[in-house]
Amino acid sequence: MTEIRNEAMFDAIYSVSPLLSQIRSRPQREGKSSSFEDEQGSVQPINYKLISIPVQLKTKEARGLSPTEFIELARAPGIGMGTEMMRRLYEMLEETTKKTGNVVNGPLTCDLFLDLLEKIQFDFDDDGNPIWPSLQLNSDAHAKFKLQYPEWLKEPKFQERLKLIVDQQRDKFYEREACRRLVD
């Protein structure tokens, strides 16, 4: 029962946003501090923050519950944890983008979308095709984007600028890959 509960909790964490499952993590087994090296070669400390979601249920309280009810009770703290993780992730992204000057504001137009693609870094597969980054929008903006993007793709001016951006990003990617430090 404990394994089923834990699995349901972790599934619930990642169900909050597909973005959470795309974030690579590395377990830290000991110590109270850590750091990472950013793209510019600066060592950045990791500021740990405790996230806690109070749980008042005990496994023995699950007696008499149907499997569906039991799993739903186990999912609640997972959803709370996932929601808190996303809230903190957005806070960190807002802070980082302000610091680096990568903030793009305004209603989502084709020009603003292309400006955004110019500001971010994305990778390419072995065939040289872009691995498109995730775009996080609120529900209204997402609905508008889904309607507008196919229309933008029909415009030659948009296609031309998009191709130019992809070519520039590909060149930057190959340069990054050529300068990478390889570890034995």
pLDDT of residue 146: 92
Q: Residue 51 and residue 47: Cα distance in Å, rounded?
A: 13
Strands (E) in the chain, as ranges, are 35-37, 43-45, 123-124, 130-131
State how far the Cα of 165 lies from the Cα of 119, in Å rounded to an integer. Answer: 10
Mean pLDDT of the chain: 85
Q: What percent of the chain has pLDDT over 70?
A: 96
Compute the average pLDDT of residues 124-146: 87
Is it the case that residue 184 has pLDDT exceeding 60?
no
β 43-45/35-37 pair status:
antiparallel
Q: How far is 87 from 16, CA to CA, in rounded Å? A: 11
Q: Looking at residue 161, what is its pLDDT?
A: 96
What does the pLDDT average to over 34-53? 82
82 — pLDDT class (breaks 50, 70, 90) = very high
Strongest mean pLDDT among 25-34, 37-46, 165-174? 165-174
Write down the domain spans for the chain: 2-100, 110-179
The pLDDT score that the predictor gives to residue 111 is: 92
pLDDT reported for residue 64: 79
Mean pLDDT calculated for residue range 6-31: 84
Q: pTM for the complete prediction?
A: 0.65
Which pLDDT value is given to residue 157?
96
pLDDT higher than 60, residue 76: yes
Average pLDDT of the segment spanning 27-45: 81
Residues 152-164: what's their mean pLDDT?
Answer: 95
Q: Who has greater pLDDT, 61 or 157?
A: 157
